[in-house]
């Protein structure tokens, strides 16, 4: 999509969008190549009805081959309000003086934009990806790096907080920026978004020298925005380390850019089992046929899939909404894993719910749906304390040697707790 003139987004000053692009072809070269490749490519994946209507309206000259190419999706992402104002019903949010140094730029793939109701600022997906003035408000307890990841980083790109596992940040680029991102202090920043392969050597060396590390989590940014060759190189280097037992990848790409999940990527991933993937899902409206196909391809490659969801005020903080999401994930072979209390990053107060709301949701799921559909509700403790699980209080006390328990219907039961240590 072309834009008229330059645009200052809700960031501090001009933003050179070229700095945040992943390595790849320019939009002009890519579009020309795709048009020559085939304007009527057979066996293209079907497109859901809502997305098809959006594409016909705002990208009328785009072929199936182009639309289903992940690099085309990234190159044609919405990145300014000037672009979004061409969408029927969208009204630019008011501008305020920006006091938030970590504010993320705007970036939405055309595919994900097709799911958003741009005429309604209260729409769940709108609120996830559109900058609003509330992001400028800094509230007590918020911080640039509330989880203290930089303080737990022994070498560049690596966080070692837990005894037997490390977090390896391999890119600062995402195909779509979530407004509540816990790593807004590094994601999309010019000096923290792209790395040469040599930049990873200290991290590789650290993992190699720390034999207690059996689990490596690749994150960022989004690892699936990297070219296959680069991602494969990183996976191969890690898999070469004898004491690393499992590799995990954290991503939102299957939800916002399902076009990325293609056979070539699958052939790279399946070389490095045991490999696990945690996918960031937010709302049941993300569970389109395209997303279902992407997750099915990953699962068919023998990769266990889990979901990570952030609890967000006015977006997914109702029991029924969360139930639909969790049940829908199981249908596409994704096991609900974590439900996160929203981290207190700068300018996030409008996203955060009381902790009591999270407990209410877990209580509304437990017993009322399959146990597989109930994620673990956690707070990632500010200051680097790590994930702390939270549960509703099902223990009501004791009656001599009996433990008094409440079930999901709040009925009281007695368990004979006579055993001695």
Q: Which residues are catalytic?
A: 161-162, 165, 174, 178, 181, 183, 343, 380, 387
Three-state SS for 319? helix
* CA–CA dist 106, 129 (Å, integer): 7
* CA–CA dist 102, 164 (Å, integer): 30
Three-state SS for 212? coil
Locus of tokens 């996976």: 235
Whole-angstrom Cα Rg for the chain? 22
* CA–CA dist 151, 364 (Å, integer): 37
Complete DSSP assignment for 86-117: TSTT--PPPP-----TTPPPP-B-HHHHTTS-
* CA–CA dist 364, 386 (Å, integer): 25
Under 8 Å between Cβ of 115 and 50? yes
Structure token digits, residue 269: 């991933």
């Amino acid at each position: 999509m072309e834009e008229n003139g330059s645009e200052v987004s809700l960031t501090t000053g001009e933003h050179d969008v070229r700095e945040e692009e992943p390595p790849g072809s320019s939009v002009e070269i890519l579009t020309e190549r795709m048009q020559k490749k085939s304007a009527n490519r057979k066996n293209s994946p079907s497109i859901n009805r809502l997305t098809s209507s959006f594409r016909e309206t705002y990208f009328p000259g785009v072929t199936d081959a182009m639309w289903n190419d992940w690099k085309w999706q990234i190159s044609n992402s919405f990145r300014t309000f000037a672009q979004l104002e061409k969408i029927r019903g969208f009204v630019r949010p008011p501008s305020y003086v920006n006091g938030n140094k970590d504010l993320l730029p705007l970036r939405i793939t055309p595919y994900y934009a097709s799911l958003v109701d741009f005429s309604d600022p209260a729409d769940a997906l709108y609120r996830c990806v559109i900058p609003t003035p509330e992001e400028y408000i800094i509230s007590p307890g918020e911080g640039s790096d509330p989880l203290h990841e930089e303080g737990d980083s022994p070498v560049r790109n690596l966080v070692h907080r837990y005894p037997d596992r490390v977090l390896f940040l391999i890119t600062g680029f995402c195909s779509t920026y979530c407004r509540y991102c816990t790593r807004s202090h590094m994601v999309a920043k010019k000096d923290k978004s792209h790395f040469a392969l040599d930049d990873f050597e200290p991290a590789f060396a650290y993992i190699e020298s720390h034999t207690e590390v059996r689990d490596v989590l690749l994150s960022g940014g989004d690892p699936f925005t990297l070219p296959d060759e680069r991602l494969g190189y990183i996976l191969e280097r890690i898999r070469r380390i004898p004491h690393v037992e499992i590799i995990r990848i954290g991503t939102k790409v299957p939800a916002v850019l399902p076009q990325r999940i293609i056979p070539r990527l699958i052939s790279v991933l399946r070389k490095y089992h045991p490999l696990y993937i945690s996918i960031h899902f937010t709302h049941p409206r993300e569970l389109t046929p395209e997303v279902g196909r992407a997750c099915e391809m990953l699962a068919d490659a023998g990769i266990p899939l889990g979901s990570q969801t952030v609890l967000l005020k006015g977006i997914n903080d109702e029991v029924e909404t969360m139930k639909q999401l969790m049940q829908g994930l199981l249908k596409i072979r994704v096991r609900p894993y974590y439900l996160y209390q929203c981290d207190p990053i700068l300018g996030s107060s409008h996203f955060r719910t009381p902790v009591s709301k999270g407990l209410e949701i877990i209580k509304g799921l437990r017993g009322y749906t399959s146990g597989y559909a109930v994620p673990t509700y956690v707070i990632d403790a500010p200051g680097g304390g790590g994930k702390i699980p939270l549960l509703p209080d099902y223990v009501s006390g004791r009656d001599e040697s009996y433990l008094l328990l409440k079930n999901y219907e709040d009925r009281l039961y007695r368990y004979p707790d006579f055993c001695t240590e």
